[in-house]
Structure 1
Amino acid sequence: MASVEQQVRSADSAICQNIERYADDRGFLSQNLLAQLRNLVEGLIVWSHLGDPSAEFHYDRVGLALEAVKAKAKFRLLSRFHNLLQASASHYTLDGDPSERLMLKYYEYLLRTRNLALKEFGIAILGNLELFPVDLDPSLREYYESIAARIEAARATPTEPRRERYYVHSSRPFFVGGRIYYEVTFSLAHNWTSKFDRTIAFTDVDMTDKYAAYLDLSSESIAVLGETMPILIIRAWEVSIRPCEFENFARIFGPASQVQSSHAEYRNLMQYLTTTRSSLLDLVDMTDASYTQIRA
Structure 2
Amino acid sequence: MATVDQQISAADRSISGAIDALSPDRPLLSQQMLGQLRNLVEGVAVRHCEGRGDAEYDYAAIKRAVDALGTAPKKLHFLRRFHKLLQESVSHYVVDGDASERLMLKYFEYLVRLRAFAKTEWNLSLLANLEKFPVDLDPSLREYHQKIATQIQGYRQGLQSPGRRDRYYILKTRPFFVKGRIFYEVTFQDAKDGMSKTERHIAFTDIDISDNYASNLTLVNASIDVLDHTMPIRLITEWAVSIRPCEFDNFGRIFGVYEKVSTGQTEYSYLMEHLTETGSTLLDVVALPDAAFQELSARAIQRAQKPIILPVLTRRDTSSGGSSQGTMCSDT
- What range is the shorter-chain TM-score in? over 0.9
State the alpha-carbon separation in 2 of the partners of residues 71 and 163 from structure 1. Answer: 31
Whether the 8 Å contact between 1:48 and 1:69 is mirrored in structure 2 is: no
Percentage identity across aligned positions? 52
Q: Within the alignment, does 1:292 sit opposite 2:301 as a pair? A: no
What secondary structure, in the 3-state scheme, does the structure 1 residue paired with 2:198 have? helix
State the alpha-carbon separation in 2 of the partners of residues 293 and 113 from structure 1. Answer: 29
What secondary structure, in the 3-state scheme, does the structure 2 residue paired with 1:190 have? coil
Whether the 8 Å contact between 1:161 and 1:217 is mirrored in structure 2 is: yes
Post-superposition shift, 1:160?
Answer: 2.6
Alignment partner, residue 101 of structure 2: 100
State the alpha-carbon separation in 2 of the partners of residues 61 and 286 from structure 1. Answer: 21
Cα-to-partner distance string for 1:98-127 (whole Å, 9 max, x where unaligned): 111111010011111111122223312111
Post-superposition shift, 1:54?
Answer: 1.0
State the alpha-carbon separation in 1 of the partners of residues 47 and 287 from structure 2. Answer: 23
Q: What pairs with 1:254-265 in structure 2 (closer than 5 Å)?
A: 254-265=256-267
Q: Which moved more, 1:93-102 or 1:34-43?
A: 93-102
Whether the 8 Å contact between 1:247 and 1:258 is mirrored in structure 2 is: yes
Whether the 8 Å contact between 1:48 and 1:75 is mirrored in structure 2 is: no
Post-superposition shift, 1:53?
Answer: 1.4
Whether the 8 Å contact between 2:77 and 2:279 is mirrored in structure 1 is: no
Cα-to-partner distance string for 1:220-279 (whole Å, 9 max, x where unaligned): 110001100001111110111111111110111112222111111111111111111111
Q: What pairs with 1:242-261 in structure 2 (closer than 5 Å)?
A: 242-261=244-263
Alignment partner, residue 57 of structure 1: 57
Alignment partner, residue 201 of structure 1: 203
Amino acid in structure 2 at the alignment position of 1:106: Y
What secondary structure, in the 3-state scheme, does the structure 2 residue paired with 1:215 have? strand
Cα-to-partner distance string for 1:38-89 (whole Å, 9 max, x where unaligned): 1000111111211121110002322222111110132222121111111111
Count matched residues. Answer: 296
State the alpha-carbon separation in 2 of the partners of residues 250 and 122 from structure 1. Answer: 48
Whether the 8 Å contact between 2:154 and 2:160 is mirrored in structure 1 is: no
Cα-Cα RMSD? 1.2
Q: Which moved more, 1:58-67 or 1:178-187?
A: 58-67
Q: What pairs with 1:77-92 in structure 2 (closer than 5 Å)?
A: 77-92=78-93
State the alpha-carbon separation in 1 of the partners of residues 108 and 174 from structure 2. Answer: 12
State the alpha-carbon separation in 2 of the partners of residues 193 and 58 from structure 1. Answer: 53
Q: What pairs with 1:1-296 in structure 2 (closer than 5 Å)?
A: 1-72=1-72, 73-156=74-157, 157-296=159-298
The ranges of structure 1 where at least 4 consecutive aligned residues each deviate by more than 6 angstroms after the TM superposition are: none
Amino acid in structure 2 at the alignment position of 1:33: M
Cα-to-partner distance string for 1:139-183 (whole Å, 9 max, x where unaligned): 311111111111111222141310111111111111111111111
Cα-to-partner distance string for 1:3-62 (whole Å, 9 max, x where unaligned): 111111111111111111111111111111111101000111111211121110002322
State the alpha-carbon separation in 1 of the partners of residues 198 and 87 from structure 2. Answer: 37
Amino acid in structure 1 at the alignment position of 2:233: I
Whether the 8 Å contact between 2:245 and 2:263 is mirrored in structure 1 is: yes
Amino acid in structure 1 at the alignment position of 2:75: K
State the alpha-carbon separation in 2 of the partners of residues 150 and 164 from structure 1. Answer: 21
What secondary structure, in the 3-state scheme, does the structure 1 residue paired with 2:141 have? helix
Whether the 8 Å contact between 2:245 and 2:261 is mirrored in structure 1 is: yes
State the alpha-carbon separation in 1 of the partners of residues 262 and 67 from structure 2. Answer: 33
Amino acid in structure 1 at the alignment position of 2:100: S
Gaps spanning 5+ residues in structure 1: where?
none
Larger Rg: 2
State the alpha-carbon separation in 1 of the partners of residues 45 and 294 from structure 2. Answer: 23
Q: Which moved more, 1:148-157 or 1:244-253?
A: 148-157
State the alpha-carbon separation in 2 of the partners of residues 250 and 68 from structure 1. Answer: 32
Amino acid in structure 2 at the alignment position of 1:287: P
What secondary structure, in the 3-state scheme, does the structure 2 residue paired with 1:234 have? strand
State the alpha-carbon separation in 1 of the partners of residues 257 and 83 from structure 2. Answer: 39
TM norm structure 1: 0.97
